[in-house]
């Protein structure tokens, strides 16, 4: 099962964290930008190449200490077709380095459209006859649940068919999440009802290590809600955004874990990508700064959950 693969990588690295690759061109050191602009021009292709070089160097520096990366598709889509190519190449490069790739796309729709989204990121696209190819060969993606079971089932089917996983939005880390997710309905919040559905959906594809391929997104910025959700979804792996730049701490994320020290993987994006800026390193040391921050994050989280 895909979730078993992720757990193995977490155990091998002794690190329950994932690095979010959410690059804007201004995060890329100037020397990389200028090299790529010289080759490709000051255009979308030059930007996309600079981001790809940035991503590759970060992956090279981090791949021995982290189990996974999480590229957010919006940060690539904003740079057009060239950005989409960079997303594809980033996924491919990370997987070739042995990393588990969670592509943060937050996709969903009804029926055949949900099937198409799932095919793009989890399944295989048919060219003709028995010729099938990977469009974006992700190990996992994020999914929006607010169209109900018929919008989720195609993703669940592909998880089982292609040995992939998904993380369904339950309680997100943003400040206004409560406007919808905290609404009370029939004595429960919306996020509690979604959690119960995730728990139900997850029973369709359980792994051998006690967790399902159907995971949940639970923000680090809401530790009390996380503790409640952990009880509702005992066999669900949590993808935990909101650590670091959004204000979540290692103590905040502790409630997302089970007593076995498993059950959650914590994301940091800007905190690691931009560590060289935050820690005032020289530009050429950006990858070393990212490594230092990734190790600090790992150790801080482990100290709070073990």
Is-catalytic flag, 251? Answer: no
In the numeric block, which tokens belong to residue 46? Answer: 């030059």
Instruction: Supply the DSSP string of 82-140, one letter for each residue.
Output: HHHHHHHHHHHHHHHTT-EEEEEEEE--SHHHHHHHHHHHTS-EEEETTEEE-SS--SE
Grade residue 217 by pLDDT with cuts at 50, 70 and 90. Answer: very high
> Interhelix angle for 149-162 vs 190-202, to 10°?
30
| Spatial contact of 263 and 211, defined as CB atoms under 8 Å apart | yes
CATH number of the domain bearing residue 142 = 3.20.20.70
> Interhelix angle for 190-202 vs 223-232, to 10°?
40
Instruction: Tell me the whole-structure pTM to 2 decimals.
Output: 0.96
Structural domains in the chain (count): 1
Question: How many alpha carbons fall within 13 Å on the CB side of residue 13?
Answer: 24
Grade residue 247 by pLDDT with cuts at 50, 70 and 90. Answer: confident
Residues spanned by the domain of 235? 2-305
In the numeric block, which tokens belong to residue 280? Answer: 């005032």
Catalytic residue among 97, 106, 124, 251: 106
Measured in whole angstroms, the distance separating CA 262 from the mean position of its chain's CA atoms is 17
Q: How far is residue 39's CA from residue 30's CA, in Å, rounded to a whole number?
A: 14
* Per-residue pLDDT tens digits for 102-141: 999 999 998 899 999 999 999 999 999 999 999 999 999 9
């Amino acid at each position: 099962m895909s979730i078993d693969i992720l757990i193995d990588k977490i155990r091998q690295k002794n690190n329950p964290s994932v690095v979010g690759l959410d690059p804007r061109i201004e995060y890329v050191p100037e020397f990389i930008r200028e090299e790529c602009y010289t080759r490709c021009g000051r255009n979308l292709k030059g930007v996309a190449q600079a981001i790809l070089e940035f991503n590759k160097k970060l992956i090279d520096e981090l791949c021995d200490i982290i189990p996974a990366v999480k590229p957010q598709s919006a940060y690539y889509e904003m740079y057009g077709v060239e950005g989409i190519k960079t997303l594809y190449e980033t996924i491919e490069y990370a997987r070739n380095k042995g990393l588990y790739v969670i592509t943060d796309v937050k996709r969903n729709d009804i029926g055949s459209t949900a099937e198409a989204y799932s095919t793009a990121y989890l399944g295989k696209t048919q060219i003709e006859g028995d010729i099938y190819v990977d469009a974006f060969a992700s190990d996992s993606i994020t999914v929006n649940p607010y169209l109900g079971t018929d919008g989720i089932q195609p993703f669940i089917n592909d998880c089982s068919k292609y040995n992939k996983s998904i993380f369904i939005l339950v309680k997100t880390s943003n400040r206004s999440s409560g406007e919808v997710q905290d609404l009370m309905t029939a004595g429960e919040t919306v996020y509690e009802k979604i959690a119960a559905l995730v728990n139900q959906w997850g029973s369709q594809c359980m792994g051998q290590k006690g967790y399902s391929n159907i995971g949940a997104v639970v923000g680090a910025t809401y530790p009390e809600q996380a503790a409640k959700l952990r009880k509702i979804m005992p066999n669900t792996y949590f993808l935990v955004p909101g650590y670091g730049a959004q204000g979540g701490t290692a103590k905040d994320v502790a409630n997302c874990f089970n007593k076995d020290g498993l059950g959650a993987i914590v994301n940091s994006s800007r905190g690691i990508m931009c560590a060289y800026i935050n820690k005032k390193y020289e530009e050429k040391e950006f990858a070393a700064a990212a490594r230092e921050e990734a190790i600090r994050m790992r150790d801080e989280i482990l100290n709070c959950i073990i």
